Amino acid sequence: MRSFKVLKGVVSFVLLFSSYAFAIKALVTIPPQKEWVKSVGRELVQVEVLVPAGFDPHSYEPKPSQLKAIEKAEVYFALGAGIEFERLWLGRIRDLNRKLLIVDLSEGISLLPGDPHYWCSLVNAYRSLKTIERTLCQLSPKSCGVVKKASSVYSGKIYGLHQKLEAETAPYRGRAFLSYHPAWGYWARDYGLRQIVIEEEGKEPSLKVLLKRLEEARAEGIKVLFITPQVDRKKAEAVAKELGAEIKVLDPLREDYLRNMVEVSEEILRSLGKEKGR
Over the chain, what HEC string results?
CHHHHHHHHHHHHHHHHHHHHCCEEEEECCHHHHHHHHHHHHHHEEEEECCCCCCCCCCCCCCHHHHHHHHHCCEEEECCCCCHHHHHHHHHHHHHCCCCEEEECCCCCCCECCECCHHHCHHHHHHHHHHHHHHHHHHCHHHHHHHHHHHHHHHHHHHHHHHHHHHHHHHHCCCEEEECCCCCHHHHHHCCCEEEECCECCECCCHHHHHHHHHHHHHHCCCEEEECCCCCHHHHHHHHHHHCCEEEECCCCCCCHHHHHHHHHHHHHHHHHHCCCC
Residues 114 and 28 occupy one common structural domain: yes
Residues 60 and 160 occupy one common structural domain: yes
> What's the confidence (pLDDT) of residue 202?
75
Residues 155 and 183 occupy one common structural domain: no
Q: Rounded to the nearest 10 degrees, how much is the dihedral formed by the CA atoms of 217, 218, 224, 229?
A: 40
Residues 155 and 222 occupy one common structural domain: no
Number of structural domains in the chain: 2
The angle formed by the CA atoms of residues 252, 257 and 260, to the nearest 5 degrees, is 65
> What's the confidence (pLDDT) of residue 278?
56
* Chain centroid to CA 100: 23
> What's the confidence (pLDDT) of residue 210?
95
> What's the confidence (pLDDT) of residue 22?
75
> What's the confidence (pLDDT) of residue 3?
56
The span from the CA of 22 to the CA of 187, in Å, is 37
221 — alpha (psi -120 to 50), left (phi > 0) or beta? left
- The parent domain of residue 193 ranges over 173-274
The span from the CA of 201 to the CA of 115, in Å, is 8
The span from the CA of 33 to the CA of 22, in Å, is 21
CATH number at residue 252: 3.40.50.1980
Q: Rounded to the nearest 10 degrees, how much is the dihedral formed by the CA atoms of 160, 166, 167, 172?
A: 150
Task: Determine if the pTM surpasses 0.85.
Answer: yes
Residues 155 and 220 occupy one common structural domain: no
Helix pair angle (144-169, 31-41), 10° resolution: 130
Answer with the one of 165, 189, 224 that is the final residue of a domain.
Answer: 165
Residues 128 and 218 occupy one common structural domain: no
Answer with the one of 96, 130, 165 that is the final residue of a domain.
Answer: 165
Residues 54 and 89 occupy one common structural domain: yes
- Average pLDDT across each block of 10 residues of the chain; the chain has 278 residues. List them in order: 51 41 90 98 97 90 95 97 95 97 97 96 98 98 97 98 98 97 97 96 88 96 96 95 97 98 98 74
Residues 185 and 134 occupy one common structural domain: no
Residues 187 and 160 occupy one common structural domain: no
Answer with the one of 165, 196, 226 that is the final residue of a domain.
Answer: 165
The span from the CA of 58 to the CA of 143, in Å, is 36
> What's the confidence (pLDDT) of residue 10?
42
